[in-house]
């Protein structure tokens, strides 16, 4: 089974915390995407490449990965095999409710550079500890009276375990993303307010336009145009969150056409820039 998304995707998570065991058979492939919640993933099996922002690594069985909502990520199978994992999505506001003034459960997700510090390789004993906490969280779904209390308690314990794991451990990943693809991604991120075209990128990185387009799509699952649009929209969202008005965000993010900005923003996020600013 080939699971391939060719366009950038932004997944809305409605629950405070969502968790499940997933299994994909065959060639599991996803283009870069984000969720509007943090993500915890424990890899059981699968011969895959995992991409986070400008980093690519090959997680081993027993790898624990964390992501925040701002981190673009994707998975690509190296060969057809079974890809099994536990996936937990959790909202920051929910983690904040479970935290205390002296210990913020969300820090390990946010207090690090994007695309850095995402991986920990667990020992068999650590995998067992994680599984036991996850099983308790699963059991809380079946609880009757007091089920929400039990869910919150086990969620807090699991999130605390993850936070301690990432505070203590070391990031062991080796980045295998081609340097010129990393360069293009960095250049786009640093020049969002300026006109950017394929011919300029080709000249700057000394690669033919056709080859650059093909290789960028191969390693990111996105066209350069789709990646550029995502970065512009994400930058506009940040500006709106910081208090900029819609017009300011539009032109600062490099949109020369106001109507195109409104249309593109709504298509990517599901709401208008004005509604996003208010929310």
CB 162 within 8 A of CB 119: no
- Quote the pLDDT of residue 165: 93
Residue 227, pLDDT score: 86
Q: Who contacts 9 (Cβ-Cβ below 8 Å, separation ≥6)?
A: 30, 31, 33, 34
Backbone angles phi, psi at 229, to 5 degrees: -65, -40
Topology match between the domains 2-168 and 179-278: no
- Predicted pLDDT of residue 3: 36
Bridge partners (DSSP) of residue 23 are 84
Range scoring the smallest mean pLDDT among 72-76, 126-130, 141-145: 141-145
* Rounded CA separation 96/101 (Å): 9
DSSP SS3 for 103 = strand
pTM score, whole prediction: 0.75
Structure tokens at 231: 């970065």
Mean pLDDT value across the chain: 87
**35-65: pLDDT as tens digits:** 889 999 999 998 888 989 888 888 999 999 9
Higher pLDDT, 279 or 110: 110
What's domain 2-168's architecture? Sandwich (2.60)
- 62-92: pLDDT as tens digits: 999 999 998 988 888 887 788 899 999 999 9
Provide the 8-state DSSP code for 100.
Answer: B
Secondary structure letter of residue 60 according to DSSP:
P
Residue ranges of domains in the chain: 2-168, 179-278
Nearest alpha-carbon partner for 80 in 29, 41, 33, 31? 29
Q: Does the pLDDT value for residue 169 go beyond 80?
A: no
Fold exhibited by the domain 179-278: Arc Repressor Mutant, subunit A (1.10.10)
Q: What is the pLDDT of residue 1?
A: 32
């Amino acid at each position: 089974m080939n699971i391939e998304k060719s366009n950038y995707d932004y997944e809305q998570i409605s629950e405070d915390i969502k968790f499940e065991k997933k299994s994909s058979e065959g060639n599991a492939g996803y283009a870069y995407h984000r969720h509007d919640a943090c993500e915890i993933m424990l890899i059981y099996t699968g011969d895959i490449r995992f991409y986070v922002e400008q980093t690519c690594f090959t997680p081993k069985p027993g790898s624990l990965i964390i992501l925040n909502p701002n981190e673009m990520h994707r998975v690509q199978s190296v060969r057809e095999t079974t890809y099994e994992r536990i996936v937990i999505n959790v909202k920051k506001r929910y983690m904040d409710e479970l935290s205390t003034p002296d210990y913020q459960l969300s820090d390990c997700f946010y207090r690090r550079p994007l695309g850095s510090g995402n991986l920990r390789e667990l020992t068999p004993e650590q995998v067992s500890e994680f599984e036991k906490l996850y099983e308790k969280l699963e059991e809380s779904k079946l609880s009757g009276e007091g089920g929400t209390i039990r869910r919150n308690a086990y969620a807090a314990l699991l999130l605390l375990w993850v936070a301690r794991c990432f505070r203590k451990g070391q990031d062991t990943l080796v980045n295998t993303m081609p340097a010129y693809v990393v360069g293009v991604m960095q250049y786009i991120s640093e020049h969002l307010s300026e006109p950017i075209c394929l011919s300029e990128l080709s000249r700057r990185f000394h690669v033919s336009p056709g080859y650059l387009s093909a290789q960028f799509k191969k390693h990111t699952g996105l066209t350069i145009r789709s990646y550029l649009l995502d970065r512009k929209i994400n930058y506009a969202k940040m500006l709106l969150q910081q208090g900029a008005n819609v017009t300011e965000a539009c032109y600062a993010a490099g949109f020369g056409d106001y109507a195109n900005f409104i249309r593109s923003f709504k298509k990517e996020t599901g709401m208008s820039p004005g509604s996003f600013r208010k929310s």
